Structure 1
Amino acid sequence: MMSSSSFFFYSLTYFLFSSCIICPPTEFISAGLTIKHLFSDFLGSENERFIQYHIKRSIATLLVHSLLPFGYVLGLILTGHIGAAEIVLGHANPCWLVLSACALIGPIYALFKVLQWSKNNWSTHPIAESLAVYCNNNSSWLSVASDINIEFRRIDKITIDTNSITKIVATDNWIIKVTSYKCYFAHQSDTALIVNKSDTHALSPDRRGGVQYVNIEVTPTRPGARSFDIRLNALDFKDLQDRVTRPIVVLDSVVFHRTLLDRFIDTFKDQVGKNREFETAQELEQCVGCMQVTSNVKLNKLCNESTSPDACVNCYCRPMWCIDCMAKWFASRQDEMAPETWMSSKCTCPVCRAKFCMLDVSFIKPLENNDS
């Protein structure tokens, strides 16, 4: 008889495996261990028949997910852990009873729903019902599906993967949110889009230096159409904004970085704010970069680098730049393909070409001129 420790190890392993099936991590996606890859022959081509593809994908997803409890119990039997499970949980334990019920009822219910959806050419499937709302003149949901399929085949659509199981598609006339079991549709001609929230996270699994997300509320005015939310990386916002024909309203209380440059400028300002100020009684002139604001930064060597051939050097230029223009100049001299290196990189003065890093940029602290 297997020990209880091996039973817990098996349970933990199966739980992690199930989690990766439900929400595939990057490693599973790269290895092709996802439902859409494993069932690619059954699903067909998304590009050719977008709607039919996702109806099939939702069915495959539902069936696979419903089989996970059954697979757990079957694994207990095949690996000889069933005895340990009965000892640890006990025959009358509610957890054991719930698990056993799910192992049997889950697949049966999923199969029942699939058979129910298949009636009348899948017209009762949730995706078909969502499309039926947009039918005109007693037309079928298939006519709306055909229009979306045609638009999806065009090269000017955009597709944004918001996570491993959700993506946003914007075509000429449609905004579509694809999830594991459903698709949400909004026709751009009668839809309001409002950015109502943003959140910033210091750590990101795929991007050094954190990430910022925006939440867009998509509200169709079509009777019967359901509203839905889009949560996407703030850096993808402009791509969506450029593709949709409706204006995206940003509430006054929401502030976010629409581009990578916006995000870098804020980070640049934060770092310069921590550097020692440069005191001067010199009269400050307008920034030569934008001619909009008074110059407020000075290149002032503060870093400790001195021996390296690539070391920073002193800049003797008078203050001529504002913080925003200096940040834009710094960013323009960096590798666009490696934004994670910008903070630790160097740049040259726009005038004298003296090399400096971010630690060498100081805000100016004006001093009173007592010569008079």
Structure 2
Amino acid sequence: MDLTAVPTTQPWLSPSAYWPTLTDATRELDPPYGALHLGALAHNAHDMLRRAGGKPIRVASKSVRVREVLDAVLALPGYAGVLAYTLSEAVWLAADEPGRPGIRDVVVGYPTAERAAIARLAADDTLAARVTLMVDSVAQLDLVDAVVPPDRREQLRVAIELDASWQGPVGRIGVWRSPVHTPAAARTLAEHIARRSGFRLVGMMSYEAQIAGQGDDPAGRPAFARTVRWMQRQSKTELLARRAEAVASVRAVAELEFVNGGGTGSLEFTSTDPSCTDIAAGSGLFGGHLFDGYREFTPAPAAAFALSVVRRPKRDTATVLGGGWIASGPPGGDRMPRPVWPQGLVMAPREMAGEVQTPLSGDAAESLRPGDRVWFRHTKSGELSEHVNEFALIGADGLAGMTPSYRGEGKAFL
């Protein structure tokens, strides 16, 4: 897979041309299946580099979960390293295999309690040099030591996660992640790590979810959009100052190799933060529809999935087999897969996306017959990969091949 060339056309801007092209290219495949449009994927990868303004992007593997795509993106200048979501995944990505060298810089974005993976990491000098554990408390260090005491292993690389939530006038806004919120708390944890054998502090990270993961231009909600923009302005100002102070406090204790921040939705902001050395991003590569409501960017719908029409319960309704690939997060309509072709299809309010069947109504449903395909976009980019064993790769001349997802390689990490 080669993503080095920047596409000169953007066919996804014309749905009436784009989606039938995907249908034609995959006509010999039986749904359900996932598809990756290589031109759209390349467009998204280069657009993210543009938005990052020269600051390196660390690929968030959770938002991809396709090894060939990770390798192709990391081959582009401007991308460096991976932010993994479990230690077992990080070990797999970092390990050398015949014909596939391991990724040399993998940071685990969340604390781990995987005892078998900790034992393997501690027993392999190469893996220990390539993988960085995330911590936000002394108890997490204790867990590692309980698996493999420090006198029986080399030093393990660790990073501290700084909480990036905003304490607003009506309370805390953000996601519940690290309890390390203040520069003083970060300094205290850093000093403990520095005194403790078996660990080496090499980095920090913080994820400003209220900026990166919250669209500032939700369709049909202008008043809410204004509130979000006000909140994000306040949060950016506060975080710039607090993160800078926290990083300086920790750097006084240890030499840091990296300070990671941000996400797909905050590339522009995080790129301006001098305390961050790289930005984590991945969702923008596939372009899940959760990222349609942002003013600064609009990702191309590079990843999609097709389902087959199998019945016609009434004149204006066609039912597809499957469809219940609901995204994680607060239950709501925005967690549903979105039918995008044919245009104008809507789900039945009392059924929505079902595990085995999904009725779709609308004018377009009248022309659908058993065997026809309906295209959907998943809400979250990487979660689509948990539902398919492989993706059809769509190039300029049609089907360019197939590539396995993590699931297709027998890897289910969560």
TM range (shorter): under 0.3
Structure that is richer in strand per residue: 2
Q: Tell which has more relative contact order, 1 or 2 (C-alpha 8 A, sep 6+).
A: 2
TM-score, scaled relative to structure 1:
0.27
Q: Max radius of gyration: which structure? A: 1
Structure richer in helix, relative to its length: 1
